[in-house]
Structure 1
């Protein structure tokens, strides 16, 4: 990103800050710590949804821990583990982005076979560090991201790395490549490679981050219109085709 570029021009909305997304809970206990009156159905539903999202996050963190350990000896084995576990979660987990109709027809995520040519170790440079990317939401004002720097990936291009400026921080690395929107290609709006605040982290060796595009995946909004996602801006677009990772086929909408 140059000093005069504007990353806001292509930003989209983040999910509304509901109990499902934020982990907020409706109190079901009285002041003395004993169970209170029966909660309304919508409050009970919010608690169950929050618990489901928490469990999804915990499973995702655990999965990526297994992936990092397995990849130390066999990245392709780690990829098979990642693919199988994600299929299981999408097919049956209550916090899956798939609705009931989609789950009934689900046969597995469209993930390309592992290709070692798409595995890199890259140092985060200071280019663009400190620049901001403001993502406007319909209900929560502006959610700010701050640029951490740039990954320069041989034969692929440059990608801006971001962190959420508010609580949580982390490293967020979305991208859009030339397969986006094509038949048998990737999701038209782009994919994610790293999102450490949600567990998606492939590890590092010293100061070099592991960037393995075989582990790139679609945002939840690719599968369910009820979700909204931050998507790649101009500094996260690649002028090359990444034929690795999760690809895309249009889901059956409910």
Structure 2
């Protein structure tokens, strides 16, 4: 009798899960990215690509790409127009300079703050970290990638390149995406985060 009950529970569980597709991903961030891309109300994918979408391509999670950086704030930096992939421009300023070690070398990246987002509810502490590296045009998007950060209370901040993502224009040219400044180039291969997007019919 006990075995029969266990069998019935197993069948019930399998039948409940069979209609619910499991989200793919090695980490919670990867699973959330896939969930957002599957959601037609959030996804940047074109309709024809969304129909065939199963998962984004990620580099394998690697803790060496999660680094602690020293933040040197630049409170007197001037606002400038950051160019995008369209005619639009966004008002940005260099919030500070991030210094960190990766693969035995010292690196620096500028981290940016947007004028409009400063007054947008929920984004008051948002910092934008666009970067280029030696995977661009090979295994990652040619135009570089982004990492989202928040203003820290101290002068240190964690950069997790495992959460580096592509601009939306990598999936759909209708989007206007900030162009990564050339000075934000890291001369190493950052094999973490999202890989280059390959359309289903091109795989």
**TM-score when scaled to structure 1?**
0.59
Cα separation, 1, equivalents of 2:179 and 2:71 = 20
8 Å contact kept, 1:129–1:147? no
Q: Check conservation: 2:83, 2:179, Cα contact below 8 A.
A: no
Aligned length: 167
Moved more, 169-178 or 121-130: 121-130
The runs of at least 4 aligned residues of structure 1 exceeding 2 Å deviation read 126-129, 135-140, 165-170, 203-207, 249-253
Q: CA deviation at 1:128?
A: 9.3
The C-alpha deviation readout for 1:147-181, integer Å capped at 9, x for no partner, is: 11111121362110111123526311110111000
Deviations 1:84-126 (A, max 9, x none): 1211220123221012211111120111111011111112114
3-state SS, counterpart of residue 221 of structure 1? helix
- After TM superposition, list the pairs within 5 Å mapping 1:188-207 onto structure 2: 188-194=142-148, 201=150, 206-207=154-155
Greater percentage in strand: 2
SS in 1 for 2:186: coil
Number of the residue aligned with 1:161: 111
What TM-score do the two structures reach when normalised by structure 2?
Answer: 0.72
Q: Distance in 1 between matches of 2:117 and 2:157?
A: 23
Asked which structure has the greater CA Rg, the reply is: 2
Alpha-carbon distance change, 225 to 204 in structure 1, aligned in 2, over 3 angstroms: same
Corresponding residue for 1:248? 196
C-alpha separation in 1, matches of 2:153 and 2:75: 23
Match runs of 1:1-254 below 5 Å: 80-126=27-73, 130-136=77-83, 142-155=89-102, 157-168=107-118, 170-182=126-138, 185-194=139-148, 201=150, 206-251=154-199
